[in-house]
Amino acid sequence: MIPADRRAFEHLAVRSEATDPECAAFFTALAEGEALAGDRLDAFARACGAREASYEPLAGCQAYPAYVAWLALNAAPADAVLALTANFSAWGGYCAAIATALREHYGLTDEACAFFDFFAEPSPDLDRLAERAVGAALDEGRLDERRARTYGRLLQQYEASFWTALSGTTA
pTM here?
0.91
Report pLDDT for 89: 83
Report pLDDT for 51: 73
Instruction: Locate the domains of the chain by residue range.
Output: 2-167
Quickly list DSSP for the chain: -HHHHHHHHHHHHHHHTTT-HHHHHHHHHHHHHHHHHHHHHHHHHHHHT--GGG----HHHHHHHHHHHHHHHHS-HHHHHHHHHHHHHHHHHHHHHHHHHHHHHH---HHHHHHHHHHHS--HHHHHHHHHHHHHHHHTT---HHHHHHHHHHHHHHHHHHHHHHHT---
For 171, counting Cβ atoms within 10 Å of its Cβ (0-12 exposed, 13-18 middle, 19+ buried), the class is exposed
Distances (CA, A) of 140 to 4, 19, 20, 25: 30, 11, 10, 17
Report pLDDT for 170: 59
Tens-binned pLDDT, residue by residue, of the chain (171 aa): 899 999 999 999 999 999 999 999 999 999 999 999 988 998 998 998 887 666 788 899 999 999 999 999 999 999 999 999 988 888 899 999 999 999 999 999 999 999 999 999 889 999 999 999 999 999 999 999 999 999 999 999 999 999 899 888 655
Report pLDDT for 90: 85
Report pLDDT for 171: 52
